[in-house]
Each structure stands twice: as structure tokens, then as C-alpha cells.
């Protein structure tokens, strides 16, 4: 089950965190994985990890914000069966203290960057007569998160794009879904806490972990396994859906 043999997968944000976990799981299931990230050194490490385990991986350094670069890389890849949009950034702030610069940066990466990849990948999928797209959304689609104005804006846009694509390209054999994690423990979390809560790292880590009713953050592999299912032929009847993976955050955090 969940074989991706003979599938070509493109994964953005593949240098770390959830993107890395997706790349490793997809390669294990025999997909040829194309790893996209701004961090070339991190990409090389992930690609080597996959190859050492007997998988097929190709690394492409790029900035998803630049559509011309995305187009060039996708042309080089040539065939795209699966697209997983994991590249993204966060931001701390409310509507009245989020700077225009920060708002634009979050929009450019999380919204425009995802649009650029969708814009370039869909024609290849239409040519194939099939394809699967998984977009990284967030629990911010469902609940109000404190001090996450720009981030919540961007993830709401991801949900809207997901539904639009699922409807527009159903006749082309393309499925599109999104997943909405709560907090996932990745290197991003450590960096985020260190940057925004210096001197209170341990306290904030415990606080963020406890905010999930299940009592901990998710592991990247847990999110990757859900993405694997949604990308597989076993999920062929699923499109236009958002899947929370949140340790009970949305419905049980009373």
C-alpha cells in the first residue's frame, strides 16, 4: 500500500522540517524526489541521506518567490506527478504592529511562493492527465492564534487556493488537498523560540508543547505520513479537503 513507484515528486521546503520528512517518506515509497529549498547545504544533506538509503533524489536550490527561477527548475524536472508545497515562514505580530515589510515577506513566501509552484506545476499535470497537490496550511485556518496576524492571513489564503484548484482541475485528473498541523517540533521551533523569547527557551518550549491537548508537539514524520496517504492512489477519492493534524487543538482545547 501507499506505493509511489514510478512517480516524480516535487517537494518545496525540503531542506528541513516537514519538507525533509516528506522527502524521506516519499523516497522510501520509491518516488523520485526533487528537493527544492533556498538552503543549498541543507538540500545536499537530505539528498545524500536519501541516496545512502537507496532512494532517488535530486536537489534544486531556488527561491519560490521568483517565478522565473521556479519555471526554469520545473522545466528541468520535466514531469511532475506529485507536488507538496511545504516552503513557508512565520511571523509574530498583530494587525497594528506588523510592519508592511514583514507582512509583504510572509505574503511573498507563503502565498505568492506557493502560487508560483502551482502555476508552473499544473500544466505538467494537465499534460499527464493526472496529478496530486498537497499544500501546507495550518490550524490558523480554523482558530484565532495570538500574535499571528500575517501568518494566519497567509494560511487562510492557502486553504482558499486549495479549494479553488481542486474545483478547477478536477476534470484534468488533478487532486488537491491541504493539511493543517498544530505545532510541529522542527529546528524552526528552536530557532523561533530563541529569537522571540531569549532567556525563556525552556519555559516557552514547555508552554507550546502543552498547548496541544495531547500534551506534545507533532513529529514531522507524523505529518509526512498523512501527506503520503493523501498523495497515494489509496486516497484517489479525496480532493478539496483540509486535514487538521493537531493533537486535539481545534476541537478539544477548551
Cell numbers 531542506: residue: 15
Domain with residue 116: its CATH number is 3.40.50.720
Proportion of the chain above pLDDT 90, given as a percent:
89
Residues 109 and 206 occupy one common structural domain: no
CB contact set of 123 (below 8 Å; sequence gap of 6+)? none
Strand partners, 133: 83, 176
Question: Which sequence positions are flagged as catalytic?
Answer: 151
pLDDT of 225 > 80? The answer is yes
pLDDT of 151 > 80? The answer is yes
Residues 95 and 24 occupy one common structural domain: yes
Residues 209 and 111 occupy one common structural domain: no
In DSSP notation, 54-84 reads T-EEEEEE--TT-HHHHHHHHHHH---SEEE
**Mean pLDDT rounded to a whole number for the chain:** 96
How confident is the model at residue 254, as a pLDDT? 62
Query: Mind spelling out the 3-state secondary structure of 126-140?
Result: HHHCCEEEEEECCHH
Report, as an integer, the average pLDDT of 171-177: 98
Residues 178 and 196 occupy one common structural domain: no
Residues 241 and 143 occupy one common structural domain: yes
Residue 125, SS3 per DSSP? helix
User: Domain for residue 252, yes or no?
Assistant: no
Residues 146 and 213 occupy one common structural domain: no
Q: Judge whether 121 and 80 are in contact, CB under 8 Å.
A: yes
User: Domain for residue 253, yes or no?
Assistant: no
Residues 204 and 98 occupy one common structural domain: no
Residues 192 and 79 occupy one common structural domain: no
User: Domain for residue 251, yes or no?
Assistant: no
How confident is the model at residue 158, as a pLDDT? 98
Q: Judge whether 247 and 218 are in contact, CB under 8 Å.
A: yes
User: Domain for residue 61, yes or no?
Assistant: yes
How many C-beta atoms surround the C-beta of residue 131 within 10 A?
22
What's the pLDDT tens digit per position in 178-197? 999 999 998 878 888 888 88
Residues 124 and 209 occupy one common structural domain: no
Compute the distance between CA of residue 209 and CA of residue 200 in angstroms, rounded to an integer: 14
Number of domains observed in the structure of the chain: 2
What's the pLDDT tens digit per position in 122-148? 999 999 999 999 999 999 999 999 999
Residues 102 and 17 occupy one common structural domain: yes
Q: How confident is the model at residue 176 (pLDDT cuts 50, 70, 90)?
A: very high
Burial class (CB in 10 A: 0-12, 13-18, 19+), 81: buried
CB contact set of 191 (below 8 Å; sequence gap of 6+)? none
Domain residues for the domain of 101 are 8-182+219-246
pLDDT of 80 > 80? The answer is yes
User: Domain for residue 1, yes or no?
Assistant: no
What's the pLDDT tens digit per position in 26-78? 999 999 999 999 999 999 999 999 999 999 999 999 999 999 999 999 999 99
Residues 22 and 131 occupy one common structural domain: yes
What's the pLDDT tens digit per position in 90-104? 999 999 999 999 999
How confident is the model at residue 191, as a pLDDT? 83
What's the pLDDT tens digit per position in 6-33? 999 999 999 999 999 999 999 999 999 9
Q: How far is CA 225 from CA 25, 61, 175, in A?
A: 7, 25, 18
Strand partners, 83: 10, 133
Amino acid at each position: 500500500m501507499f506505493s509511489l513507484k514510478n512517480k516524480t515528486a516535487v517537494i518545496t521546503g525540503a531542506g528541513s522540517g516537514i519538507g525533509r520528512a516528506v522527502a524521506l517518506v516519499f523516497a522510501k515509497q520509491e518516488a523520485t524526489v526533487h528537493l527544492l529549498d533556498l538552503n543549498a547545504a541543507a538540500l545536499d544533506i537530505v539528498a545524500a541521506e536519501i541516496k545512502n538509503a537507496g532512494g532517488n533524489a535530486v536537489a534544486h536550490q531556488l527561491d519560490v518567490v521568483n517565478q522565473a527561477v521556479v519555471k526554469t527548475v520545473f522545466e528541468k524536472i520535466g514531469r511532475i506527478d506529485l507536488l507538496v508545497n511545504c516552503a513557508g515562514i512565520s511571523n509574530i505580530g498583530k494587525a497594528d504592529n506588523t510592519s508592511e515589510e514583514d507582512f509583504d515577506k510572509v505574503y511573498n513566501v507563503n502565498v505568492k511562493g506557493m502560487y508560483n509552484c502551482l502555476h508552473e506545476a499544473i500544466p505538467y499535470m494537465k499534460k499527464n492527465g493526472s496529478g496530486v497537490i498537497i499544500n501546507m496550511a495550518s490550524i490558523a485556518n480554523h482558530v484565532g492564534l495570538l500574535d499571528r496576524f500575517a501568518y494566519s492571513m497567509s494560511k487562510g489564503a492557502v486553504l482558499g487556493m486549495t479549494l479553488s484548484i481542486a474545483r478547477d482541475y478536477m476534470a484534468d485528473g488533478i487532486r488537491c488537498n491541504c493539511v493543517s498541523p498544530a505545532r510541529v517540533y522542527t529546528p524552526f521551533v528552536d530557532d523561533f523560540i530563541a529569537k522571540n523569547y531569549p532567556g525563556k527557551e525552556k519555559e516557552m518550549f514547555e508552554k507550546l508543547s502543552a498547548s496541544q491537548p495531547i500534551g506534545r508537539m507533532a513529529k514531522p514524520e507524523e505529518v509526512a505520513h498523512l501527506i503520503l496517504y493523501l498523495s497515494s492512489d489509496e486516497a484517489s477519492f479525496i480532493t478539496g479537503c483540509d486535514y487538521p493534524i493537531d493533537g486535539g487543538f481545534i476541537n478539544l482545547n477548551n
